[in-house]
Amino acid sequence: MYINTAKKYAPKSISDFIYQSSDADEVINAYASGVIERPLIFHGSNGTGKSLLQRLIPNAIEKREASLHVVKCADLKSADDIHDLYGRNKRFNRTFTINEQRFNYIIIEEFLMTNKKMIDALKIELDETLGTDLTIISTNRFDKIDYGIVSRSEVLGLLPCEPHVFFPHAKKMFEGEGVEVDDAQLLKCLEVTHALKADNRKYYSAIDAMFRKI
């Protein structure tokens, strides 16, 4: 049988997300309460759930599907682009958020910024929009992020899930499809996958392959 498990069984909320560490769980839940206003930086290797959490956290804060402004860092070319991203009419922004949300959400993917003027513009925007806009950044290159940006932010490193941590989620996919699976065989599959490459995406492809054999 053919199943796209990454699509069908992706976590739909922060409570479905598989936390490899309890630190991550705590920080995410603190953000979900809407009390923390500091920008949030996710870093970690490929397939650790950074982009997923960038989308799930706003929904958790708003308790409904949040409206997001998503950009790839590489599409920001100048300091003006940074100011435009946050909107130049700050007086409006300070009073209103889109759809009466708790925050306006600025989601910056694949963060890598080396241009000094852009970095300065971002620092200014992070300060000026604090409390109104919540900026959530993801990157594989945490070592390259300017300290001024790091200093203003909460930093959360994500790790790929260990096989036994991912196991209950994998098991639910088989239950969801009404397919019996041998626990030992499933765990072995996750262990082999993890040993080849520690990347949560690979678990989904390995499970798709198990379904294909059925």
Distance of alpha carbon 120 from alpha carbon 124, whole angstroms: 6
List, in order, residues 6 or more apart from 168 with CB less than 8 Å away: none
Using alpha carbons, select from 47, 35, 46 the residue that is nearest to residue 6.
47
The answer to whether the beta carbons of residues 122 and 94 sit under 8 Å apart is no
Q: Give me the least distance between CB of 189 and ligand ATP, in Å please.
A: 16
DSSP state of 112: -
Member of 29, 45, 51, 115 binding Mg ion (CB under 5 A): 51
Distance of alpha carbon 96 from alpha carbon 127, whole angstroms: 17
Size of the site for ligand ATP (CB under 6 A): 17
From the list Mg ion, ligand ATP, none, which binds 206 (C-beta under 5 to 8 Å, kind-based)? Answer: none
Q: How many residues does the chain have?
A: 214
Contact region with Mg ion (CB under 5 A), list: 16-24, 26-34, 45-53, 63-71: 45-53
Interface of this chain with ligand ATP, residues 44 to 103, rule: CB under 6 A: 46-52
Q: Give me the least distance between CB of 87 and ligand ATP, in Å please.
A: 26
User: Interface with ligand ATP includes 130 (CB under 6 A)?
Assistant: no
Phi/psi for 3 (5° steps) reads -135, 135
User: Interface with ligand ATP includes 10 (CB under 6 A)?
Assistant: yes
Q: Give me the least distance between CB of 10 and ligand ATP, in Å please.
A: 4
10/150 with CB nearer ligand ATP: 10
Residue nearest to Mg ion (CB): 51
Contact region with Mg ion (CB under 5 A), list: 49-57, 76-84, 122-130, 145-153: 49-57
The answer to whether the beta carbons of residues 2 and 13 sit under 8 Å apart is no
Member of 37, 201, 208, 211 binding ligand ATP (CB under 6 A): 201
Q: What strands lie across the sheet with 154-157, from one edge to the other?
A: 68-72, 104-109, 133-139, 40-43, 154-157
